[in-house]
Amino acid sequence: MNNLSCGSSSFVVEMLGVVKEFKRGPRIGPITLHVKRGEVFAIIGPNGAGKTTTLRLMAGIYKPNAGVVRICGRVEGFRSLVFYVPEETAVYSRLKGREVLYFYALLYAGDRREADIIARKAWQYSGLEGDVLERRVGDYSKGMKRRLLLGLAMAINTPLLVLDEPTSGLDVYTAVHVRRLIRREADRGRAVVVTSHNMFEVEKIADKVAFLNNGVIVDVAPPNALLARYDAKDLEEAFIKAVRTVVERGVW
């Protein structure tokens, strides 16, 4: 599906009492959150908090053990509505950069002419030089691979864009460029969900922030509201105070 429409659904993402359990590893949830069209929604928390698992539930990679995940009102068959860029970039190493762009574009578009248009846009968004696209992806650095997939993410018009640590491995100039692209995509009407360890980055781009700790959401609000609520100078301090408040209340 190559448009931004979510039909009559009020929210692009609805997670309602979602729980994910593994044979080994911590339990995630219950998680309830909503993401609107045109919103940059950031999930922040320490390593092991459940951020990547939450994103994979949104992307349809994982199925919940309990609760409901809806994307544009759908409980099933919504993976084509989501473009997900994982933190650990996995691409076909034997393909050239331009071949990777065209391959993924064709998967989403289903039409060769449209796939060619998407691949060209993705190249422009990636900021990679033309000669780089003629090299095998196996020879790319981590940052170059991320730029390749982020270019695709910006070029393919799914209603939901899910980015796990989108600026990880990027130099400062490219990271600024990516943040601008994220904001631009939200302004165009996409729902964008990101995770990041960079609190400064989150304050700059997010419309709403969820604090995630030990698999549960501690608080959700716009960045300025969180800073005011916890009398904090930045989101890092607000997160620490939010978790401390929950612990003091005896929830954990």
- pLDDT of 136 > 50? The answer is yes
Q: Please work out, in degrees rounded to the nearest 5, the angle formed at the alpha carbon of residue 219 by the alpha carbons of 245 and 39.
A: 160
In a domain, 56, yes or no: yes
In a domain, 7, yes or no: no
In a domain, 58, yes or no: yes
Q: What are the distances in angstroms from CA 130 to CA 47, 98, 126?
A: 36, 9, 11
- pLDDT of 151 > 80? The answer is yes
Range of the domain at 67: 13-248
Residues making up the chain, counted from first to last: 252
In a domain, 220, yes or no: yes
Name the band, by pLDDT with cuts 50, 70 and 90, for residue 250. Answer: low
In a domain, 242, yes or no: yes
User: Crossing angle for the helix pair 112-126 and 97-109, nearest 10 degrees?
Assistant: 130
Higher-pLDDT residue of 88 and 236 is 236
- Rg (C-alpha) for the chain, rounded Å, is 18
In a domain, 6, yes or no: no
Q: Token match 């930045």: residue?
A: 234
In sequence order, what DSSP letters do the residues of 232-243 get, joined into one string? -SSHHHHHHHHH
Higher-pLDDT residue of 4 and 191 is 191
Total Cβ atoms within 10 A of residue 15:
23
In a domain, 8, yes or no: no
pLDDT tens-digit series, residues 186-226:
999 999 999 988 888 898 899 999 999 989 999 999 999 99
CATH of the domain at 65: 3.40.50.300
Name the band, by pLDDT with cuts 50, 70 and 90, for residue 1. Answer: very low
Domain count, the chain: 1
In a domain, 2, yes or no: no
